[in-house]
Amino acid sequence: QKEVEQNSGPLSVPEGAIASLNCTYSDRGSQSFFWYRQYSGKSPELIMSIYSNGDKEDGRFTAQLNKASQYVSLLIRDSQPSDSATYLCAVTTSPRLGSARQLTFGSGTQLTVLP
Amino acid sequence: NAGVTQTPKFRILKIGQSMTLQCTQDMNHNYMYWYRQDPGMGLKLIYYSVGAGITDKGEVPNGYNVSRSTTEDFPLRLELAAPSQTSVYFCASRAGRRSGNTIYFGEGSWLTVV
């Protein structure tokens, strides 16, 4: 079973702090990694993608990937109340031998940024 | 640009009834997906399609059927609704590896089976 695991939270941080979200995955063949943000009652929206080991920064967001440890994380600097949402980690996996790669989601981490 | 459009947005079904969730995309994407999301959970893949005429099962296909007669449309059929199918359903699409891996989601369809 190809799995993606996240701490479900909830995670609470004060406004202006750094929020750290973590994700581990089991499929060593995974090549693409994504972080989605989902507000309550809304569809997921892509905020970061990362394909190579190391860090990738985009504004207040930094994604970190370590394929050897099968670990991907998301840092949110200067957290704002508007960042309060559920963050979903997604990883490309092959559900069955010979099938096309699909996007497997973790169960999400609920983040609350306190004013 | 409409993107991915799902209908209906809300539906209540009785046990044993059938219905079709409609999904249309206007981005000429090859890949289309149906996911379900139960409360407090991530998205589970039901079925996917890599192009017109080609579909395959995802992680949780039981109780559902799909078809892909055109590039634009990917309807999801529930034949005999069960309470376990109460969930939020998301349709999604992406262009393909060479044209971009970004997945675009529809706004979701809330289904309750009573």
For the stretch B25-68, pLDDT in tens is: 999 999 999 999 998 888 999 999 999 999 999 989 999 999 99
Tell me what the mean pLDDT of segment B59-88 comes to. 96
Measured between CB atoms, which of A8, A49, A105 is closest to B43?
A105
Report the phi/psi class of residue B27: left, alpha or beta, with left for phi > 0 and alpha for psi in -120 to 50. Answer: alpha
pLDDT in tens, A2-49: 589 998 779 999 999 999 999 999 988 888 899 999 999 999 999 999
Terminal-to-terminal C-alpha distance of chain B: 36
Percent of chain A with pLDDT strictly greater than 90? 76
Backbone angles phi, psi at A13, to 5 degrees: -135, 150
Q: Given an 8 Å threshold on Cβ–Cβ distance, is B33 in contact with A102?
A: yes
For residue A110, pLDDT beyond 70: yes
Any B CB within 8 A of A108 CB: yes
State both tokens at A63: 């994604």
Which string of DSSP letters, residue by residue, matches B33-72? Answer: EEEEE-TT--EEEEEEEEETTEEEE-S--TTEEE--SSSS
Q: pLDDT exceeding 70 applies to what percent of chain B?
A: 96
The values of phi and psi at residue B86, to 5°, are: -65, 120
Question: Which of B33, B38, B43 should one mutate to test binding to chain A, selecting the residue with the greatest count of A CBs within 10 A?
Answer: B43
Question: pLDDT at residue A98 above 70?
Answer: no
Place of tokens 């790669």: A101
Distance CA A35, CA A98 (A): 26
Q: Is A82 on the interface with B (CB under 8 A)?
A: no
Per-residue pLDDT of A69-88, as tens digits, reads 999 999 999 999 999 999 99
